[in-house]
Amino acid sequence: MKKLILYIVYFFSFVPIYAIEQDSLQWSLLTCQPGQEIYQLFGHTALRCQNFTKKMDVVFNYGMFSFNAPNFVIRFVEGKTDYELGVEKFCDFVSQYKFRGTGIYYQTLNLTQSESARLWNGLIENYKPENRTYRYNYFYNNCTTRARDMFEACIDGNVVYQKREEVKSFRSIIHEFTKDSKWDEFGIDLLLGQDADKPIDMRLQMFAPFYLLSYMRDAQIVTSVATRNLVLSEGYLEPFTNKSLPSGFVFSPLICTIILLIITIIIVAIEWKRKKIIWIWDLFFFSLQGIAGGIIFFLMFFSSHPTVNSNWLFVLLNPIPLMYLPWMMYKDIKKKKDRYHYINIVYLIIFMILMSFVPQTFNASVILLACSLLVTSIGHLIVYRIYK
């Protein structure tokens, strides 16, 4: 079936544009309901083309990628993920969303036949093997922004979107779609820096499929002679479900960090009673801090992902504890005082004070994590008082 679609697409790519203009083409923007996987949380966008003359109904999808691509995980972390434009039968596209139980919303574009023909030819040019792959960027160059840019480029005149007063940032929009997936939200919050909290204009807001859908509803095509609505009609191709997303781990990050703080206090109490540092706890906790810091360090200095290079959380989570850990373990086991914890107490207090002043929104769990680290170092000072 895919070979048949490719044959049809390539056949029409060689048909002169005047022949395409004689066809009856209708384009729709498809916005798909969010799914359960992290890459599905924000929904999806694609372009549907119905050629009533040739009885063809296909979807152009800029969201094609493969987890099996060489070095996919490494390239993703580096911000060097490549996506592709794919073409598939409309019925096949819809069946995927039916299978996972999520809906599809359509907005029919109010294009002239000459504009529709230009959009077709533009997408066919994009679909050529040498053009179909592009460097994906979540905020600036994704399946939604690509679809928008393609239909805007074919229009005679300008698309004018209605401005809104509400201030939005990349992080605030992300939180709207991760509110039911707290672990995904926590992970994303750890990685995004202060640039994700800066106000963004309406065009940047359209990185999110449902924001593009919303802005299109009252958008207009303005030419020198006339004005018309961008959207001719809209509605549900497949109804949206009220199916709630799985919460993942039974406890949220906030609950887990509260439990972590309680465990830390209990361990400090045991250390005080036994007059001995529990070095296994230090090994676990400071390794965790250092590994998380190593990831943030790599993203800040070696990744091309947007907004990750301005992360104030690097003050709390950095690779220093991991590098110092062998000396910490040696002093724990030998019952020697370690100046690291004196410095760490001052350092953590300063960080918690700075959290209120830096232009970055921190996940609520971060303050509890910092408190656990602080209590751990204070526990060392309590035991040190017992040492000779």
State pTM to two decimals.
Answer: 0.88
Q: Which two tokens stand for residue 330?
A: 């040696």
> CB within 8 A of 65, min separation 6: which ones?
81, 82, 83, 84, 136
Tell me which of 55 and 243 has the higher pLDDT.
Answer: 55
Tell me which of 325 and 72 has the higher pLDDT.
Answer: 325
Position 216 scores a pLDDT of 97
Please compute the mean of the pLDDT values over residues 42-52 and round it to a whole number: 95
Mean pLDDT, all residues of the chain:
89
Q: Examine the pLDDT at 342 and tell me if it is beyond 80.
A: yes
Considering the chain, what percentage of its residues have pLDDT values greater than 90? 73
Which helix (H) or strand (E) covers residue 60, if one does? strand 56-64
Position 70 scores a pLDDT of 67
Task: Return d(Cα 296, Cα 8) in angstroms, integer.
Answer: 47
pLDDT (tens digit per residue) in 216-272 = 999 999 988 899 999 999 999 999 887 655 556 678 999 999 999 999 999 999 999
Cβ contact 312:194 at 8 Å: yes
User: What dihedral do alpha carbons 41, 59, 234, 17 form, nearest 10°?
Assistant: 140
Query: Residue-wise over 124-144: b if at least 16 C-beta within 10 A, else e?
Result: bebbeeeebeeebbbbebbbb
Rounded to the nearest angstrom, the gap between the alpha carbon of residue 230 and the centroid of all alpha carbons in its chain is: 28
Q: Examine the pLDDT at 110 and tell me if it is beyond 80.
A: yes
Position of tokens 């493969």?
66
Cβ contact 215:206 at 8 Å: yes
Cβ contact 117:285 at 8 Å: no
Position 253 scores a pLDDT of 95
Q: Examine the pLDDT at 4 and tell me if it is beyond 50.
A: no
Please compute the mean of the pLDDT values over residues 187-212 and round it to a whole number: 96
* Other residues' Cβ atoms within 10 Å of the Cβ of residue 304: 12
Please compute the mean of the pLDDT values over residues 338-362 and round it to a whole number: 93
Of 236, 15, 278, the C-alpha closest to 121 is 15
Position 385 scores a pLDDT of 80
Tell me which of 314 and 36 has the higher pLDDT.
Answer: 314
Q: Which two tokens stand for residue 252?
A: 């949220």
Helix intervals (H) in the chain: 2-13, 17-22, 72-77, 90-100, 113-127, 143-153, 170-178, 182-191, 202-205, 209-217, 253-274, 279-302, 320-333, 339-354, 364-384
Please compute the mean of the pLDDT values over residues 295-317 and round it to a whole number: 92
